[in-house]
């Protein structure tokens, strides 16, 4: 469903050019749970952003469902992202002055659905992550683990087939991390695909396939790959 062909990203610095990613080739099948590991500065975030249509490669192609993402106009690419991709960040990126319900409704504002439909959908999503009794809480009134679950509910709002996660357990204690990882297992069993950048060995262990990056190069690609479904 997602491929990178000979993808490089070069940043031009004053003294020299840096390849954040060098000639990456990856094929990710529907239903895969893939982790990306490697030292800080090795190119993990660069890879994730390019997979999500958020950062243009210097050369090479990224395709999602057979569509070359960076041959699309920025508007078309944004539309593709909204239809297929959900993001989870380490810092949750919740809006502090909005309630949990309103935060989850953000992606739904852009749909034409009636206000009540948006509200009931957001309520269901918060119930799904165990926060049905926290709809009107603002992020600061929730524990860190609860904030991450609000972020998961918001990520699910557009029913993404592809979930991209950057250090999703990075701010969480072991107990809360395992709750988030259990949700990831559920998302996989629903047929979604997850690509997760992580420093957390326990999180990396849960993924079936592990990609190791060092110095902008993929140096290891191990584990179970799903049958590739374009
Ligand atoms: P990681 O996520 O593994 O920590 P990154 O993908 O963030 O690594 O960065 C890879 C390399 O690219 C690093 O050397 C970093 O300094 C460089 N880099 C990342 N973003 C930029 C940018 N916007 N401008 C210049 N260099 C960048
Ligand atoms: P946890 O033990 O799950 O990390 P806390 O001890 O921080 O959570 O909070 C316990 C409960 O109290 C949580 O369910 C949270 O929703 C609620 N809570 C925490 N802080 C506030 C607050 N400032 N206002 C309202 N509810 C809060």
pLDDT of residue 84: 95
Strand order across the beta sheet in which 2-12 lies: 17-28, 2-12, 59-64, 67-68
Q: What does the radius of gyration of the chain's CA atoms come to, in whole angstroms?
A: 18
Higher confidence at residue 92 or residue 165? 165
Whether pLDDT at 179 is above 70: yes
- Vertex 149, ends 143 and 152: CA angle to 5°? 150
Whether pLDDT at 230 is above 50: no
pLDDT of residue 224: 73
- The answer to whether 217 touches 227, Cβ cutoff 8 Å, is no
Mean pLDDT of the region 163-177: 93
Could you tell me the pLDDT band of residue 16, with boundaries at 50, 70 and 90? Answer: confident
Ligand 2 pocket check for 143: Cβ under 6 Å: yes
Q: Whose CA is nearest to atom 12 of ligand 2?
A: 142
Ligand 2 pocket check for 146: Cβ under 6 Å: yes
Please tell me what DSSP assigns to residue 139. G
pLDDT of residue 227: 55
Ligand 2 pocket check for 134: Cβ under 6 Å: yes
Whether pLDDT at 226 is above 70: no
Looking at every residue in the chain, the average pLDDT score rounds to: 93
pLDDT of residue 223: 83
Could you tell me the pLDDT band of residue 23, with boundaries at 50, 70 and 90? Answer: very high
| ipTM value for the complex | 0.66
Instruction: Kindly state the percentage of the chain with pLDDT values over 70.
Output: 98
Residues contacting 230, CB < 8 A, separation 6+: 1, 65, 66
- What domains appear along the chain, each with residue ranges and CATH number? 28-54+73-223 (3.40.50.300)
Whether pLDDT at 12 is above 90: no
* Residues with C-beta less than 6 Å from any ligand 1 atom: 11, 18, 20, 38, 40-46
pLDDT of residue 15: 82
Ligand 2 pocket check for 145: Cβ under 6 Å: yes
| Residue 149, both tokens | 């679950």
Q: What does the pLDDT look like over 107-129, one tens digit per residue?
A: 888 788 889 999 999 999 999 99
Q: What does the pLDDT look like over 42-100, one tens digit per residue?
A: 999 999 999 999 999 999 999 999 999 999 999 999 999 999 999 998 888 899 999 99
CA of 197 to the centre of ligand 1 (A): 14
Q: Which atom of ligand 1 is nearest to the CA of 9?
A: 12
CA of 48 to the centre of ligand 1 (A): 12
Residues contacting 183, CB < 8 A, separation 6+: 129, 149, 152
């Amino acid at each position: 469903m997602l491929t990178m062909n000979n993808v490089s990203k070069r940043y031009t610095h004053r003294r020299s050019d840096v390849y954040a990613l060098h000639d990456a080739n990856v094929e990710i099948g529907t239903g895969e749970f893939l982790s990306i590991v490697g030292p800080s500065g090795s190119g993990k975030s660069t890879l994730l952003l390019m997979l999500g249509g958020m950062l243009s490669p210097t050369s090479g192609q990224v395709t999602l469902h057979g569509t070359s993402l960076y041959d699309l106009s920025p508007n078309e690419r944004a539309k593709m992202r909204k239809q297929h991709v959900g993001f989870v960040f380490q810092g949750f990126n919740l809006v502090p002055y909005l309630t949990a319900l309103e935060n989850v409704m953000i992606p739904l504002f852009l749909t034409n659905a009636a206000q009540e439909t948006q509200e009931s959908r957001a309520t269901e999503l918060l119930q799904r992550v165990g926060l049905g009794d926290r709809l009107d809480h603002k992020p600061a009134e929730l524990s860190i683990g609860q904030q991450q679950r609000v972020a998961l509910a918001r990520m699910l709002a557009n029913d993404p087939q592809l979930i991209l996660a950057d250090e999703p357990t990075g701010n969480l204690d072991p107990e809360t991390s395992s709750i988030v990882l259990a949700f990831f297992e559920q998302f996989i069993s629903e047929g979604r695909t997850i690509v997760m950048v992580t420093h957390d060995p326990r999180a990396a262990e849960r993924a079936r396939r592990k990609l190791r990056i060092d110095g902008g190069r993929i140096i290891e690609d191990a584990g179970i790959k799903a049958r590739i479904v374009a």
